[in-house]
Chain A
Amino acid sequence: MKKSFLIPSLTILGLLFIQGTTKNVSVTETELHALAPDMPANVKAVVEQKCYGCHNAESKNEKGKAKLDWDAFEATKKSKQMATMAKINETLGKGDMPPAKFLENKPEGKLSESDLATLMEWSAGKKKDK
């Protein structure tokens, strides 16, 4: 019986140390972190700002939701995630996203050069900095 207390108490003890190293993160960052813990912060920031508006589970843009749903992304298996990344890479490479029609009404939604570079590098999938 004593063993069953060991793990929880160790966890609590561990948490005390983790608290000491926690950085201040903005609300949006924390939200997306829950969605996709493996994604680099700079990628998440672009996705949150430029993609998530249409590509989410509650999206009214049915086509956008069907093609890519960031809320579902994290829950899918790794190989499926990589397949999705490859498709993102292809679509962005062709300059098809965000759609030209969408940008007519919302020109600020355009990906900046650095946004695009960030997404392209991440979605290429090869580089794993460890």
Chain B
Amino acid sequence: MKLWQYILLGLAVVFIGIQFVPNELPAVNTNNPGDLVLNGLVSEEISTMLKTSCYSCHSNETVYPWYSYVAPSSWLVDKDVREAREEVNFSDWMDYDMMDKLKILDDIAIEVKEGRMPMEIYTLMHSSAKLDDAQRAKIVAWAEETMDIVAEEEDEED
């Protein structure tokens, strides 16, 4: 055997080997009564944009592509979805207190305005999740308006 054949064989062995490393992707659950879109804060239009561009990571309704079951890409998907849900999980919206909701909405406005979300590595694989400038402006405006609504709701409860 030539050297390149050894290298190829080695890579193949490693590739097969890493498939046995346990990797449990965050669970999918489509029944989320506390979800943001079910609780009257989002128009149809915004809800569609959020679902298309954000929900696959920032909710319990992740749609896992085939490569999320193959190492090493599965590790990246696992890490990103886990971290994304920790930052904001739209499925658990009603569990957040007012201060958290405000923080999340403010972050949405900032991240979407500055083009940091959705992440490039995500839109590279999911081009339909890309947001154009007009869509970004709409999401930013929605997030900023909703901050006032959330803050006022709390005042009424006091």
Contact = CB atoms under 8 A, between A and B. Distances in A.
A125 interface: yes
A79 B99 contact: no
A86 B100 contact: yes
Interface in A32-90: 77-80, 82-87, 89-90
How big is chain A's contact interface, by range? 10 to 19
B148 A83 contact: no
Contact of B103 (A77, A83, A124, A126): A83
A79 B158 CA distance: 16
A82 to B, nearest CB: 5
24 contacts: A77-B148, A78-B151, A79-B102, A79-B147, A79-B150, A80-B102, A80-B106, A80-B144, A80-B147, A82-B98, A82-B99, A82-B102, A82-B151, A83-B102, A83-B106, A83-B147, A85-B99, A86-B99, A86-B100, A86-B102, A87-B106, A124-B99, A125-B99, A126-B99
Contacts of B103: 83, 86-87, 90
B150 A89 contact: no
Interface of A: 77-80, 82-87, 89-90, 124-126, 128
Nearest to B106: A83
A68 to B, nearest CB: 12
B139 interface: no
A84 B148 CA distance: 14
Contacts of A126: 99
B105 interface: yes
